[in-house]
RNA sequence: GGAGGAGUACGGUAGCCCGGUAACCGGCCCGCCUGCUAAGCGGGUGGACGGGUGAUGAGCCCGUCUCGCGGGUUCGAAUCCCGCCUCCUCCGCCA
């Protein structure tokens, strides 16, 4: 959520932010208009309440006729207040709904552009492998190795579901363990999060006025939904808390399954592990001081790069343009890893700075020293290992002519020292 | 799922039955006293929002809200009534 006071001070900045995302800047002026109405009502009601409070202090001392008269007078005043209050309440909820529906303000360094073609490649690492045979995709490889079963997954749960089997399960766990070890070594605190959360937690993290049921699975008859990523419960971890500035940054490694409806993406990436309804992810999350959130962002991307490089996977870092930015984010880097089966670089990691957007909704502040006012923290999140997508890259880049796959050496300790997966 | 209890400012608590300016202790800040420190003595002490005056965020002044959250009753609610959330105890069920 954006800061209303900042919008009042510099509306043009926020209009141009919306334009950068390819959106209509109109809501900024709509918000200012409702806010003017709201403040006028508020001033009026506060004046009346001040009268009421004065009377309230006098009445206990009054006796007989004076007392009756004063109470009668206040009856009228109370009725007037009661009359005005609904108008104020509706202005407030209108304003709140509008503010909640607005996306985050993009960072100045975010490039202009309406879709992913305007994203900027920041750096590239590694060289895509050259095969002297026709490479297979991960579905063919995984099925041949007996570690992935999409057919049975579909029978049990429908498309975009799969069974993972044998060494596939070990491979997934190995990636998760490797990611956790990296984070623990960096001083992150691991958190196994709730995978069902209140819908306010999801909108708080991802934006929007109401729950986006295109992407989120809602539990019937309860105000609970399956998380789309542990970023959501991680953003709620310190909700309604005031943190000590000296404790920042607070860094967490979220460990969870993630669930996505993908209702709007019928027909897109239907094959394989790339876009599935359920996947495992190790997620980084930082609560940072606003003055240091930019460097924190670079640090988190750096860890993602270290992770992919340790696996020896060719990749590039991309800075997303305004039109490609998620609702709640001010700036996002994606890591796109080379996937021979898709014939190009595809997203395996994302790393974002949400600024104060999530913190304002979650009520997470910090205080500098014992006194003084509080301020909202900045929150940042980044994928360290989305195991499904990492497995795509590992299988497809490590494949050999006979359908076997050479595994990255770093995984050996987690794979019972296997260095290779063989069909059969 | 059933029964009972609790939630008060930074921390700990009183007030609630029986409606009328949120109190007390600690902490913290300022001052006094004192070779130093501590004790002792005196004073002060939050947050959110709206307005005024400064220079659109300092400071100062006025006001509203803030006793878990949201409603209701009332001239007036921490206090009475209703709904919800969280925690605790017991019972039931369960891996």
On strand B, nucleotides with any atom < 7 Å from a protein CB are 20-21, 28, 46-51, 56-57, 63-65, 71, 74-76
Question: Å between A3 CA and B85 C1'?
Answer: 27
Nearest nucleotide by C1' from A48 CA? B64
Write the burial class of residue A78 (CB in 10 Å: 0-12 exposed, 13-18 middle, 19+ buried): middle
Q: For residue A264, what pLDDT is reported?
A: 78
Question: Which string of DSSP letters, residue by residue, matches A162-221?
Answer: -EE-THHHHHHHHHHHHHHHHHHHTTPEEEEPPSEEEHHHHHHHH--SS--TTT-PBPTT
Condensed to tens digits (0 to 9), the pLDDT of residues A224-280 reads 899 999 999 999 998 888 887 888 899 999 999 999 999 877 777 889 999 999 999
Question: Å between A60 CA and B17 C1'?
Answer: 22
Cα dihedral value A233, A304, A167, A191, nearest 10: -30
Strands A365-367 and A374-376: antiparallel
Pull the structure tokens for residue A407. 């595994």
Nearest nucleotide by C1' from A74 CA? B75
Residue closest to B45 C1′ by Cα: A371
Question: Å between A151 CA and B91 C1'?
Answer: 48
Residue closest to B46 C1′ by Cα: A371
Nearest nucleotide by C1' from A78 CA? B75
Q: Which positions ≥6 away from A233 have C-beta within 8 Å? A: A191, A193, A194, A195, A197, A201, A227, A254, A256
Nearest nucleotide by C1' from A49 CA? B64
User: For all residues of chain A together, what is the average pLDDT?
Assistant: 92
This complex has an ipTM of 0.83
Question: Å between A97 CA and B61 C1'?
Answer: 34
Q: CB-hemisphere CA count at 13 Å for A47? A: 8
Quote the strand ranges of A199-277, DSSP E.
Answer: 224-226, 242-244, 250-259
Nearest nucleotide by C1' from A79 CA? B75
Residue closest to B10 C1′ by Cα: A370
Name the residues contacting strand B (CB < 7 Å). A 4-6, 9, 39, 42-43, 46-47, 49-50, 52-57, 59-60, 71, 74-75, 77-78, 89, 370-374
Residues of A annotated as catalytic are 260, 275, 347, 350, 389
Q: For residue A371, what pLDDT is reported?
A: 45
Q: Is the dihedral of CA A23, A24, A27, A28 positive or negative?
A: positive
Q: For residue A59, what pLDDT is reported?
A: 86
Question: Å between A363 CA and B6 C1'?
Answer: 25
Q: For residue A209, what pLDDT is reported?
A: 82
Question: Å between A162 CA and B37 C1'?
Answer: 70
CA A333 centroid distance within chain:
13
Sorting pLDDT into bands at 50, 70 and 90, what band is A365? Answer: confident
Condensed to tens digits (0 to 9), the pLDDT of residues A120-167 reads 999 999 999 999 999 999 999 999 999 999 999 999 999 999 999 999
Count of other CB atoms within 10 angstroms of residue A390: 30
Q: For residue A362, what pLDDT is reported?
A: 87
Q: Which positions ≥6 away from A13 have C-beta within 8 Å? A: A6, A105
Question: Å between A224 CA and B37 C1'?
Answer: 57
């Amino acid at each position: 959520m954006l800061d209303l006071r900042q919008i009042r001070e510099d509306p043009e900045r926020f209009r141009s932010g919306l334009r950068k995302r390819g959106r209509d800047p109109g809501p900024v002026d709509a918000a200012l208009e409702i806010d003017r109405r709201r403040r006028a009502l508020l001033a009026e009601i506060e004046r009346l309440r001040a009268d009421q409070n004065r009377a309230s202090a006098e009445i206990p001392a009054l006796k007989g006729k004076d007392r009756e008269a004063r109470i009668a007078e206040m009856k009228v005043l109370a009725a007037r207040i009661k009359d005005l209050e609904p108008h104020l309440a509706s202005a407030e909820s209108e304003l709140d709904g509008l503010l909640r529906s607005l996306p985050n303000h993009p960072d100045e360094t975010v490039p202009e552009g309406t879709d992913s073609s305007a994203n900027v490649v920041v750096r590239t690492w590694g060289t895509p492998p050259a095969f002297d045979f026709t490479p297979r995709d991960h579905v063919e490889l995984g099925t041949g190795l007996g570690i992935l079963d999409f057919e049975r997954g579909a029978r049990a749960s429908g498309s975009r579901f799969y069974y993972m089997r044998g060494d596939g399960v070990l491979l997934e766990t190995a990636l998760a363990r490797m990611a956790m070890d990296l984070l623990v070594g960096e001083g992150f605190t691991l958190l196994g999060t709730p995978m069902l959360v209140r819908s306010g937690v999801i909108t708080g993290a991802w934006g929007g006025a109401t729950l986006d049921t295109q992407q989120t699975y809602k539990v019937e008859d309860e105000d609970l939904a399956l998380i789309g990523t542990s970023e959501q419960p991680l953003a709620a971890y310190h909700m309604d808390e005031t943190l000590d500035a000296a404790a920042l940054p607070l860094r967490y490694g979220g460990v969870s399954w993630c669930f996505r409806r993908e209702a709007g993406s019928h027909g897109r990436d239907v094959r394989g592990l790339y876009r599935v309804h359920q996947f495992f992810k190790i997620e980084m999350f930082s609560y940072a001081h606003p003055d240091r959130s930019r460097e924190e962002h670079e640090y988190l991307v750096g860890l993602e790069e270290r992770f992919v490089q340790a696996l020896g996977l060719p990749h590039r870092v991309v800075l997303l343009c305004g039109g490609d930015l998620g609702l709640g984010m001010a700036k996002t880097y994606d890591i796109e890893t080379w996937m021979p089966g898709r014939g190009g670089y595809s997203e395996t990691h994302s790393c974002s700075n949400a600024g104060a957007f999530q913190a304002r909704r979650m009520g997470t502040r910090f205080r500098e020293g014992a006194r003084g006012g509080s301020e909202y923290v900045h929150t940042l999140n980044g994928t360290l290992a989305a195991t499904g997508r990492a497995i795509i890259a590992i299988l497809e880049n490590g494949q050999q002519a006979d359908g076997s796959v050479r595994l990255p050496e770093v995984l050996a300790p987690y794979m019972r020292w296997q260095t290779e997966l063989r069909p059969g």
